[in-house]
Amino acid sequence: MGGGLRPRCRALFPGLQPRDAGREVRCRGAVSPLLAGPGCRGRAGLCRGRAEGVEDRPAGPPQARPVAGRGAATCAGRLSGAEIVMRALVLGASGGIGAALVARLQAQGAEVTGLSRSRDGLDLTRADTVADHAARLEGQAFDLILNTTGALVIDGHGPEKSMDAVDPQAMAAQFALNAIGPALAIRHFAPLLARDRRAVMASLSARVGSIGDNDLGGWVSYRAAKAAQNQIIRTAAIEYRRRNRHAILVALHPGTVETPLTAKYAARYPTIPPDRSAEALLAVIDGLTPEDTGSFWDWKGARVPW
């Protein structure tokens, strides 16, 4: 990294100093892209610069120690008594996309906390359960928080084909889960984002929630709820610029993923497996910088208009 440290490295590893540019730290295996980021990666088993929690070795064989149960996202070694391990929190961890994201992150060596309604009682339509689960995690600092909750069909009510089909109770249920739920998730879980390094909170939205991209009509309640979610994320991102300068809050469109939620519509829309979506979403997240906070991205890495 000759010529000084790249901004991304400084954001990810606060322990890096300008005098450390170009020096080597030996790591166990390849450094996860989510942990290292562009400009911090070297060849497998090597990251450039002096990373907090990694023993600095300018030359010689790797000095890394094995870390039980940890993989590529762990730089094993000691500098300030801490190991560099990416810590992730996944809300909706038992769903199709949520489970795939948990598996991907764990395969990369991240330390993952997963919460779901079926396993843990986390229900984003009930504010008390959101507050309770966040309180149990108080004092922890996460590099990545993913909200993968949401539903297209609720209590048997699917997307409307016209305004004539709008039902007040069905619309209220869509807003409760797909708009108010993400707002509660941000309120209670975003304070758990790390404050001394780059940290991302991403919520799964949907392209149909884009007002600028709506050329087909229909799906009134779901579209409106997702559009509201997008506005909530955008507004929260502005606030968090002041509260946590390292925080990045974004909305993500995961594609039409092969899950029970989309099975009815698979014949009309091309679908992708959950693991493929998870892989792509993590790649998008890897490329985000603080300047991207408050934005909306699809799984292919393209910005989606609000």
Rounded distance, CA 240 to CA 278, Å? 25
262 pLDDT band (50/70/90 cuts)? Answer: low
pLDDT for residue 20 is more than 50: no
pLDDT tens profile 226-244 = 999 999 999 999 999 999 9
- Confidence at residue 259, expressed as pLDDT on a 0 to 100 scale: 74
Q: Where are the beta strands (DSSP E) in the chain?
A: 24-26, 46-48, 74-75, 84-85, 87-91, 111-115, 144-147, 199-204, 247-253, 295-298
Helix, strand and coil percent figures for the chain, each rounded to 5: 35, 15, 45
Which is more confident, 152 or 79?
152
Which is more confident, 60 or 236?
236
Which is more confident, 249 or 63?
249
Rounded distance, CA 205 to CA 211, Å? 13
Identify the structural domains of the chain with CATH numbers, from first to last.
1-80 (no CATH), 86-298 (3.40.50.720)
Q: Which of 15-29, 44-58, 189-203 has the lowest mean pLDDT?
A: 44-58
